A and B are shown apart, each in its own frame.
Chain A
């Protein structure tokens, strides 16, 4: 079966750095997405990786290793507003998105 694994919950301190990991096992691969979802709201797009390596976008970076079936989202200079769930999703060989359950990130002052 197809599977996306990410930690259920993580805690970090304001101003620090946190890395959220995602491992996947899918039938084919056509890109990996990271979304941010604040409580009670809809997900919003953060990043997209289709080739190996690091994609940097401001305070957020996303890394992909296709051979390892692994990605991480790196958040720097954490702010209280970064408290949210972070969803990892992979497009399989049929271009259907397979979603992880999300990682709830709690930021403490």
Chain B
């Protein structure tokens, strides 16, 4: 069976510090991978998605970046965090972009102070 895991689950970071969130998927090959951010009272915001190694599409201009160094690994990074980066970050995968549901990781709660 397929599983998705992301970490860390929670983190508190000062403004201007770097960020690295990691996500791995097991039990499937060549998944589509996604990073979402969820702010209170708002819908999920797609940040990045990837259809293959090294292929990253950015949906929202910001100080965040994503990388996919391996088929089932997806990393969300920032060199300098802003207060507005606080939120609940979710990694997800799907079999194909056109069909099927998303499967989400556990989520990472980021608080920037």
A residues near B (Cβ < 8 Å) are 4, 8, 30-31, 33, 40-45, 48, 87, 89, 95-102
B46 within 8 A of A: yes
User: Which residue of A43, A48, A95 is within 8 Å of B98 (Cβ)?
Assistant: A95
Q: Is the CB of B104 within 8 A of A42?
A: yes
Binding site of A, secondary structure by majority: helix, strand, loop or mixed? loop
Chain B residue, CB-CB nearest to A88:
B43
Q: Is the CB of A101 within 8 A of B42?
A: yes
Q: B90-110 CB contact bits vs A (8 Å, 1 = yes)?
A: 100000011101111111010
Q: Is the CB of A97 within 8 A of B102?
A: yes
Complex contacts, B43 vs chain A, CB 8 Å? 4, 87, 89, 98-102
Complex contacts, B44 vs chain A, CB 8 Å? 43, 87, 89, 97, 99
Q: Is the CB of B46 within 8 A of A41?
A: no
Q: Is the CB of B41 within 8 A of A42?
A: no
Q: Which of B20-63 contact A (CB under 8 A)?
A: 41-46
How far apart sit A100 and B102, CA to CA, in the bound complex (Å)? Answer: 15
Q: Is the CB of A42 within 8 A of B105?
A: yes
Q: Is the CB of B97 within 8 A of A42?
A: no
- Are A33 and B107 also in contact (CB < 8 A) when A87-B44, A99-B43, A101-B42 are? no
Q: Which of B69-91 contact A (CB under 8 A)?
A: 90
- Are A44 and B46 also in contact (CB < 8 A) when A30-B98, A95-B97, A95-B98 are? no
Q: Is the CB of B41 within 8 A of A43?
A: no
Q: Is the CB of B101 within 8 A of A48?
A: yes
19 residue pairs A–B, Cβ–Cβ below 8 Å = A8-B41, A31-B99, A41-B106, A42-B90, A42-B104, A42-B105, A42-B106, A42-B107, A43-B44, A43-B90, A45-B101, A45-B102, A48-B101, A89-B44, A96-B46, A97-B46, A97-B102, A101-B41, A101-B42
- Are A45 and B103 also in contact (CB < 8 A) when A87-B44, A99-B44, A102-B43 are? yes
CB distance from A62 to the nearest CB of B (A): 13
Complex contacts, B97 vs chain A, CB 8 Å? 95
How far apart sit A33 and B100, CA to CA, in the bound complex (Å)? Answer: 10
Complex contacts, A42 vs chain B, CB 8 Å? 90, 104-107
